[in-house]
Amino acid sequence: MKAQVLLPKVFNYPFTYNSNTECKIGDLVEIPFGSKREIGVIWKNNYTEPKNLKLKKISKITEYSIDRKLVDFIEWFSSYNMVSMGLVLKMVIGGTDKFIRIKDSLIKIKKKKIKKFKLNEEQNTALEYLQKVNNKFDVSVLQGTTGSGKTLVYFQRIKKIIEKNEQALVLLPEIFLTNDFKSRFEDYFGFEPAIWHSKITPKQKRIIWQGIINNRIKILVGARSALLLPFKKLGLIIVDEEHDTSYKQDEGVIYNARDMAISRAKFENIPIHLVTAVPSIETFKNVCSKKYRHIKILKRYNDIPLPKTKIINLNLKKLKKRSIADDTINLVKKYLEDGNQVLFFLNRRGYAPYLVCKNCGLKQVCSNCSLYLTFHKIKNKAICHHCSFEKKIESKCKLEGQCDFIMYGPGVEKIFSEIKDIFPSKKIKIFSSDYLKKKEVVKKFFKEIKDNKIDILVGTQMISKGFNFPKLNCIVVVDADFSGRGYDLRSTEKNIQLYQQLSGRAGRFSKDSIVIYQTLTPEDLTLNKLIKDRSEELLANELILRKKNKLPPFSRLIAVIISSKDRGLSLQGAREIKVKLDQINDLQVLGPVDSPLLKIKKNFRSRLLIRFNNQFLLQKKISKLINGLKISPKIKLTVDVDPINFA
């Protein structure tokens, strides 16, 4: 018999092979391909095979098989995101040649003592609401005030699923979340969860992959890529912090894991729960239009009140060459004296984001990217946050001697330095990806926080993402800036979610907590509505603006980024592509324009933005046109469906 085999490579079509034995769609097989042997998947027989070609034979049919529903999902995922089927398949079975040639790995489950948790009335109501739809596709939004115990609700929901011998997938936006989440999981379920992300070892990947495809692993906690694992009997998907933009993969295969999770649930015909404190604008619209079911938990767990808020107008304060106002210092002192932890929040890594010579005006700019270099005191170097280029800040001055650099705009390292001067006897640590790269360091860091061995944290946006610090009762937002950047249509939405999440880190176990906003814009509408807990009113206003301007979620956008070492070539390529795209009906092509980040990794970037009505899925037409273009090898084309970043 003849069989079509899709390979986990860049190809968007399967290859035809002969088989001596019966095989079915989804079977993993070993085949000769070129001079090597590869693992592929038996695909649908609806692809045209070449004539008069001598067919090779399938070498071996393995014991593994992926479900037909997953095969259909791979095809849809490929079409929607305009990427090749082979690359999507690689995310499903990547590295399986190593997995299947090693004997099935044993999964050791270490049993631990279960802590007893009792759901309150609101949590029980939410759980019953979620359980109303059990064995069919349904999108439900579990929205709860930060600290309201949403996690406990969906833990109980998962428990019911695995009692039916089905599997549950929990998606988290960042791998940094897994350590804190893991301890809460163990307390509830009495065993460690299987955790999947890019940093786990090949051995762990093999154990988990085999456990998932054989239905021996019942619960998987993972980052974006866990969505495409070959579950045997998937019964429920949870997307925690569904609003988080980290669910968008913006390199390699570009996709939004939250949106794709909803689609996978539809293909599997199972329920999916989106969990959030403040929903994304897309989710909010679907709740308003009754497309998604919606339940709220309004009270914090154990009736703990939300933190108090205070705005400090930096225009009225003389800051004495530092970033922290005296009023802020006095409030912080009181909380420290009572044995509380304090967080100073600033969403800028490093020490200073701008370095300018006060004599000749030289600016430290990346030689690969059109981006200022950020000075990092930890390395004593200026670093590019896009390409990781590093250099010492010594430069010969155009006027005389060496440049004398002034550092503008504080980063977390500068705030850390200031706070050490203000509170010399306190234990202070920085919570930033630059300082938390190793697993052992992260583990030790979290233990020190939990054991109250750290008095003051200085953190970036990473700290807002779902962490649970019992003694953290005072948060200082060093620079509450709601202006956004002109090229980011989501800046208002992101600010609403960021500051709501951030305030939720404070006072999770105390009735006396505070969030202090230092700002140059104390009258800002977003800030004032946020501190009055009116985030949904802000989202409703944002929806009105989006509708008026024909922006998502009322239209669909596809970004096409054309990059080249030659700036003129990238713009010319963009113009030529636009002429072709204009031939497709029912879409509007905006641009070309230079990207706000004009150069990244020595490549100049031009952008086109395709806009069309939500009712049409025009990706197939656009893909066919783009794939048929004769593009110069000196140009690279990147397609981003439903872009989040417009830089």
By the 8 A CB rule, do 636 and 603 touch? yes
Give the torsion through C-alpha atoms of 379, 381, 384, 388, to 10 deg. -50
What's the first-to-final CA gap in the chain, in angstroms?
51
- Residue 595, domain member (yes or no): yes
Domain count, the chain: 4
Residues 418 and 525 in one domain: yes
pLDDT of residue 198: 84
At position 422, the amino acid (one-letter code) is I
Same domain, yes or no: 537 and 627 = no
Together in a domain, 29 and 96: yes
Residue at 330: amino acid letter: N
How many Cβ atoms sit within 10 Å of the Cβ of residue 404?
14
Q: Which of 67, 100, 133 is a domain's end point?
A: 100
269, two tokens: 């015909």
Q: Where are the beta strands (DSSP E) in 223-318?
A: 234-240, 248-249, 255-256, 271-276, 293-297, 308-313
Contact, 39 vs 62, CB < 8 A? yes
Looking at 543, 567, 599, the residue that finishes a domain is 543
Q: Supply the pLDDT for residue 580.
A: 93
- Give the pLDDT confidence score for residue 596 in this predicted structure: 87
The two structure tokens encoding residue 485: 């950047």
Q: Say yes or no: 458 and 436 in one domain.
A: yes
What stretches in the chain show pLDDT beneath 50? Answer: none
Alpha-carbon distance of 4 to 89, in angstroms, equals 14
Domain final position from 65, 100, 135? 100
Q: For the CA atoms of the chain, what is the radius of gyration? A: 26
Q: How many helices, marked H, and strands, marked E, lie in the chain?
A: 17, 29
Q: Edge to edge, what strands does the sheet with 603-612 contain? A: 587-600, 603-612, 556-564, 636-641
Q: Tell me which long-range contacts 371-377 makes (C-beta under 8 A, separation of at least 24).
A: 371/597, 371/600, 374/348, 374/349, 374/350, 374/411, 375/350, 375/351, 375/407, 375/411, 376/349, 376/350, 376/351, 376/413, 376/434, 377/350, 377/351, 377/413, 377/417
CB 433 within 8 A of CB 378: no
**pLDDT for the residue numbered 398:** 86
Q: What are 302's two structure tokens?
A: 């154990």
pLDDT score recorded for residue 510: 79
| Same domain assignment for residues 149 and 185 | yes
What distance in Å separates the CA atoms of residue 600 and residue 417, rounded to the nearest whole number? 31
Same domain, 340 and 480: yes
- Name residue 256's beta-bridge partners: 248
Residue 368 in any domain: the answer is no
CB distance 407 to 354 below 8 Å: yes
Answer yes or no: is 388 within a domain: no
List strand residue ranges (DSSP E) for 19-75, in order.
27-33, 36-43, 60-65
282 within domain boundaries: yes
**Beta-carbon count within 10 A of 20 CB:** 9
| 95 and 12 part of one domain | yes
Tell me which amino acid residue 328 is: T
In a domain, 356, yes or no: no
Q: Give yes or no for a contact between 332 and 418, defined as CB atoms under 8 angstroms apart.
A: no
CA nearest to 127, candidates 167, 146, 155: 155
| Range(s) of the domain holding residue 127 | 121-299
Q: Are 407 and 435 in contact (CB under 8 A)?
A: no
Proportion of the chain in helix, strand, coil states, percent, rounded to 5? 30, 25, 40
Same domain, 170 and 204: yes
Indicate which CATH number applies to the domain containing 277: 3.40.50.300
Residues 14 and 160 in one domain: no
DSSP sequence for 109-147: ----PPPP----HHHHHHHHHHHT--SS-EEEEEEE-TT
H helices of 164-238, where?
177-189, 202-213
* One domain for residues 138 and 235: yes
Q: Within this chain, do residues 531 and 568 fall inside the same structural domain, yes or no?
A: no
For residue 367, being part of any structural domain is answered with no
pLDDT by residue (tens digit) across 468-516?
A: 788 889 999 999 877 655 567 788 888 888 888 888 788 777 788 999 9
Q: Is residue 247 part of a domain?
A: yes
Task: Assign residue 590 the CATH number of its domain.
Answer: 3.30.70.600
Distance between CA atoms of residues 517 and 522, nearest Å: 9
168 and 271 inside one domain: yes
Is 561 domain-assigned?
A: yes
Cα–Cα dist 173/181, whole Å: 12
